[in-house]
Structure formats: structure tokens, C-alpha cells
Amino acid sequence: MGTESYRFNVGSFECIAIHDGDVIYTADKYFANAPEEQLAEMARRHRLDPQRIPSPYSGLVINTGAHSVLIDTGAGKWIPGAGRLRDNLEQKGIAAAAIDTVILTHGHPDHLGGNTNASGEVVFHNARHIIAKDEWEYWSSDASLNNPKSQPFVACARQNLQPLHDQLELVDGEREIVPGIRMLPTPGHTPGHMAVVVSSGQEELLYISDAALHPIHLEQPAWYPAYDLDPDQALSSKCRLFDFAATDSALVLAFHFSPFPSLGHVIKQGSGWRWEPVDMTP
């Protein structure tokens, strides 16, 4: 297994998790409302340094046979330590021109910073780009500028969304994008945050994007990251999403869960859930 990509199947669909890079976060960003003593105990149990929480950025390419779909484009130039997605796609023999559909789960830099190159040109120029209507409207409005939580990300969102005007499709609610791939509304982290469900045959993959940033968020779902714009709404979305994942025994790709390729299953446990990573042993 290479460290920059990981190939697996969902039914007849060929999937490749693509590594965009690694970034370090701190506990105050990941668990903004966690009681100090409880967080310290949880960190000990997870062998976690609260000042150095590792986060891979894990995008996904799906070849359905009829479509080549990319979920999220990585950070591009916007975040040090990341921005390797396009190079890693090319290393797997996937040219940007071969992607016909790009799904953008939300407007944060690590998920759409790779939409454009250093010259401001659209990277996946043959692809239609899909994003929730609520997400587009938020990042295009003064509301995003006036909210201290989103203000640092506005420039990236606008510079990477506005050039897509001829290729951008806005969607409402749950929507099938191509046969076997549908978007699932999970608002709260951002107004139009989406998860993606991939179904082929009897198998299912759930790409949760930023519904949770760390496995601790499954065990303590009421603990929220500083980046959630509406923590109460995010909690509701999180509970629905993880109940779905646990009930269906779906394979889950959690964008920020370490280590890459961030694949595992969600298991119901008491009032929360626990993360069971896929065994990557050869």
C-alpha cells in the first residue's frame, strides 16, 4: 500500500482514496466545548497529544464505469502541508481532464482549494461541479463575511467557486448525482455541508466529509469543533449520519481521521458510537 493513495472497491465501483497532505491541529480547535478533565482523560485513552492532533486530508475518486467522480479537490495552495491531491491523481494515471464530475461537500479550503490552479484556471475543466445551493449562497453573501468563524475562509471559497460559474450545478436536498452516488444533506458544520453515499450492488460507502473531525466526536457527539457554524444543527446531522452508518454497516471514509486512508466502520456504543478502522495489514 502506498502512502499517497489506496485502492478499494465498493461493489463494481473502483475507488481510490487520494492523500492531499497532513496537517496538525490542536484540541481547542477540535473539541471547543469539551470539559478540560474529560478531554484530558479521553486524550490519554486515545494516546493523543492535545497540542498535536494529526489529520490527513483524504479525497476520493470513484470510477463507476460510466463516470469518473472526484469528491473534494483538496487544499491547493491554501494550507501548508497539503495540496498534493492533483499530483497524486496523476501518479495513479488519472488526468484532471478525465474527471467528469466533481462533488464539493462544503466551502472550506481543504475541500475546494484545489478547484483552481495558481493562475486561477479551473483544474478539472471537463467536469461539472456540484455543491449545495445553501452552501453557494452562504459563501457568496455578506453572512460569511460577518461571521467570525467563516471570515478567514471567505477569500478561498470565493476564488475557488466563482470561476466555476459555467460548470457549477447547485443542488437542494438529497440528490443522486450519477447512478449509485448521491448527496446527503448534513448541515451544521456549514449551512450546506453534504455527505456522499456511494452504493453498488450490496455494498455501500459513506463519505462523511467534516461531519466529524476525529473518532472522539463519535464517542462524545456533543463535543464540537471550533469550525462548526451551527453546533446544534451539526449535532443533529451527526446523529442521523452515524445511526445510518451503524445500521447499514456501511464502509466510512472520514476525511480527517488518522491514519490515511481514513477508512473504517461506525459501531453503535451506548449513547454514542465508536470508530473501528479498517485493518490495513497486508
User: Which pTM value belongs to this model?
Assistant: 0.96
5-277: which CATH number, 2.60.40.10, 3.40.50.10580, 3.60.15.10, 3.40.50.360? Answer: 3.60.15.10
Tens-place pLDDT, residues 16-35:
999 999 999 999 999 999 99
Residue 206 CB neighbours (<10 A)? 24
Segments in the chain below pLDDT 50: 1-2
Q: Where are the domains of the chain?
A: 5-277
Question: What residues form DSSP beta bridges with 276?
Answer: 265
Which of these, 224, 177, 215, lies nearest to 196 by C-alpha position? Answer: 177
Question: Which cell numbers in the block locate residue 48?
Answer: 493523543
For residue 1, the model assigns a pLDDT of 40
Going from the C-alpha of 279 to that of each of 144, 264, 276, the distances in angstroms are 40, 8, 9
pLDDT at 282: 64
Residue ranges in the chain assigned as alpha helix (H): 27-30, 36-45, 85-91, 109-112, 133-140, 142-146, 154-161, 216-219, 231-248
C-alpha cell at 271: 449513547
Instruction: Compute the distance between CA of residue 108 and CA of residue 75 in angstroms, rounded to an integer.
Output: 9
The pLDDT value given to residue 279? 85
**Residue 73, pLDDT score:** 98
- Rounded to the nearest angstrom, the gap between the alpha carbon of residue 231 and the centroid of all alpha carbons in its chain is 17
Please report where in the chains the cell 470539559 appears, as a residue.
35
pLDDT (tens digit, 9 = 90+) per residue, 251-271? 999 999 999 999 999 999 998
Distance of CA 144 to CAs 141, 187, 189, 232, 268, Å?
6, 15, 13, 18, 35
